[in-house]
Structure formats: structure tokens, C-alpha cells
Homo-oligomer: A and B are copies of this chain.
Amino acid sequence: MADELLQSRGVKPTPQRVVITQFLLDSHDHPTADEVLEGVKDSLPVSLSRATVYNTLNTLVEAGVVKAVSLEPGRTRYDANTIEHHHFVDTKTGKIIDIPWEKVSQLCQTLGPEYKIQDYQITFFGELAEPTP
């Protein structure tokens, strides 16, 4: 799975890269580099260095395998959900939730011809209501 994805993007699938990619594919929160290191280091026979995590994440971002999201100051989070989507940040818990693209009705982006928009992303801030049982 991760293996083929890396191949298809022209990234040599080393063991470290495969497990990091797989970890990001499996996790639907948005891990930081440190969380990736923590979550992955035990699934490798060899040790995994922090430098390799950062190098790999940068490689994956450049190759378009994952996206870097900066929703809070000081740290970058990584997201293997490359389908277009928005983010909801729970201001209480800091939890970040993906919002499907279609859930937000198309917005008419009539900014004018001087803005050549390549991408846009909506970030919602609020609180997530507890599901009442």
C-alpha cells in the first residue's frame, strides 16, 4: 500500500519511509513529527532517528504524498489525506478534524482576475459538542 504509493510518486521506498507513510495513512488525526517518531519507532527493526523523520516528511511533502498543515504556531502537522478537504480545530481540546470538501457548499470565490487561485482551505475554529448518549 504505502510501498506502491511511494513508487508511484517516484520516492524510493526505504523501510523507514514505508512505515512513516503507512503510519500517516492510518492516522486520521494530524500527527506532528514527534508523534510520527513515537508512533513508528517500535515497528522498525532498526532505530529511527529524529533527523530521518524530518527528512522523510519533507521528502513526502515535496513528492505530494502527504500535506503539511500549519494550524497552530510552532509545529507542523502532517496529513496523508490528499483528497481536498477543510479543517475543524476544536479550540477546547486542540483536536483537528477533517471536513469533507462537499460538506461546505461551494463558495463563490469571486476574488477577481488578479488572484490566480491554486488552492484554498477553510479552517473552522470552534468546539466539538459531546455526542449526547
* A→B interface (CB under 8 Å): 68, 70-76, 88, 91, 99, 103-129, 131
Contact = CB atoms under 8 A, between A and B. Distances in A.
Give the residue among A68, A106, A111, A127 with the most B Cβ atoms within 10 A. A111
A120 B86 CA distance: 11
Count copies of this chain in the complex. Answer: 2
A127 B118 contact: yes
Contacts of A126: 115-119
Contacts of A73: 68, 70, 75-76
A127 B116 contact: yes
B115 A104 contact: no
A108 B103 CA distance: 9
